[in-house]
Amino acid sequence: MNKPATIKEIAKQLGTSISTVSRALRNAPDVNADTKKAVLALSDELSYQPNRLAQSLRHKQTHTIGVIVPNLDYVLSMMVKGIDEVALEAGYTVMVCQSNESFGREMVNTRRLLDSLVDGFIISVSSETKSFEHFKKIQERKIPLVVFDRITPHLVAPSVRLDNEAGGFIATEHLIEQGYKRIAILAGPKNLGISNSRLEGYLNALKKHKMKRENELIIHCEFNQDYAFFATKELLAMKKRPDAICTISDRMAIGAMLAIKEKGLRMPQDIGLIGFNNEPALSLVTPTISSVEQPSFEIGKVAAKLFIQNLHNSEDMSGVEEVLKPKLFIRESSRKILQRNGRLK
């Protein structure tokens, strides 16, 4: 009772051979109905569980997916949940590693998962990563690799992501429609794709509405609350200060909010503010902060689906590129004009 039963044990007790037992268990056609029944009964009684290790060794696949993410914040943990959901359904187990936005950790994680013999990878690359050799080596070995959320042109692989350009666009256009005239943007690090796309959306919105791009209103700063706080203080200290701030993450929006409050300005009257990701905290703070929501859970699910397709088809899918649309949540921080049809939350 201590050790789990093996196929050999069943064979011995039944006085048959292990190959017959193996076939019976896998419901092979060339085994007698009665013996099949007997095997099944006994294996049930001994509560037989096939040894995954042995199976994996034999089949050279582990039914495990390696997932590497830069962190487990609100958005990414939802995406991981989406991946998990689909993977489990399809009989795959997921191993999640955090790179903590560090290139070194990302390489270590890749290596570790690789020698844990995962069947493939679903990856969101760290912001620090500029060389992609460790991922290309994976691809050379013909190991399936899907990227999501943080995409880079340097890595050609099936991908899933938010339409970040659209996100930046609708946020900015919303501010414009509310009558804001000098809209600043707190963007992220310059080499980060999602940041640049959102910035591009911002610029496109300005262009569409015939507003001039002003470089002093475009701030690149780290992806967190404190940097955003200080960046906003500087923005507000300008002679011609902006009358609205567009951010590319909620953490940054909160940093901005604190700086705005400290300065004694009111939202949305004196200055408009909008975040990105729509974390729950945004509807708890005062004023409540508008934000762009992305379908995180869905993105995770699509990533896993793509991965599994890729695994089965094994034809080249590197061109596949799924892009999902964001949604705007308007709250107090940006609702300067009373709207009849503004969506509340």
Partner DNA sequence: GTAATTTCCGGTAACGTTACCGGAAACGCT
Partner DNA sequence: AGCGTTTCCGGTAACGTTACCGGAAATTAC
Interface positions with a second copy (CB under 8 A)? 1-4, 49-54, 56-57, 62, 72, 77, 81, 84, 93, 95-96, 98, 112, 114-117, 140-142, 254, 280-281, 284-286
Residue 57 sits in the site that holds DNA (CB under 7 A) = yes
Buried b (16+ CB within 10 A) or exposed e, 138-151: bbeeebbbbbbbbb
140 binds, among DNA, a second copy, none (CB under 5 to 8 A by kind): a second copy
- Determine if 40 is a binding residue for DNA (CB under 7 A): no
Note whether 141 binds DNA by CB under 7 A: no
Residue from 2, 44, 60, 212 touching DNA (CB under 7 A): that is: 60
* Residue 107 partner contact from a second copy, DNA, none using kind-dependent CB cut-offs of 5 to 8 Å: none
Nearer to a second copy, 103 or 177 (CB): 103
CB–CB of 164/131 below 8 Å? no
Among 37, 41, 55, 344, binds DNA (CB under 7 A): 55
Residue 104 touches which of a second copy, DNA, none (CB < 5 to 8 A by kind)?
none
* Contact flag: residue 32 with DNA (CB under 7 A): yes
Q: Which position among 18, 143, 258, 281 is part of the footprint of DNA (CB under 7 A)? A: 18
287 φ, ψ to 5°?
A: -75, 165
Residue with smaller CB distance to DNA, 45 or 214: 45
Pairing state between β 244-247 and 290-293: unpaired
Task: State the minimum distance, in angstroms, from the CB of residue 5 to DNA.
Answer: 8
Q: How many residues bind DNA (CB under 7 A)?
A: 29
Short-list 253, 66, 34, 27, CA closest to 144: 66
- Distance (Å, rounded) from C-alpha 302 to C-alpha 229? 35
Q: Which of residues 87-106 bind DNA (CB under 7 A)?
A: none
Shortest separation between residue 64's beta carbon and a second copy, angstroms: 8
SS3 content of the chain, % helix, strand, coil (to 5): 45, 15, 40
> Which single residue is written with the structure tokens 């187990």?
93
Name which of 35 and 283 has its Cβ closer to a second copy: 283
Nearer to DNA, 54 or 238 (CB): 54
Q: Tell me if 187 sits within 8 A of 248, measured CB to CB.
A: yes
Report DSSP letters for 151-177, one per residue: --TTS-S-EEEE-HHHHHHHHHHHHHH
Closer CB to DNA, residue 4 or residue 179?
4
How would DSSP label each residue in 8-28?
Answer: HHHHHHHTS-HHHHHHHHTT-
Q: Which of residues 13, 37, 40, 58 is near DNA by CB under 7 A?
A: 58
Under 8 Å between Cβ of 161 and 322:
yes
Q: Which is nearer to DNA, 57 or 337 (CB)?
A: 57
The answer to whether residue 1 forms part of the interface with DNA (CB under 7 A) is no
Q: What are the CA-CA distances from residue 102 to residues 68, 76, 151, 324, 336 (Å)?
A: 11, 16, 16, 27, 40
State which residue, 2 or 269, has the beta carbon closest to DNA.
2
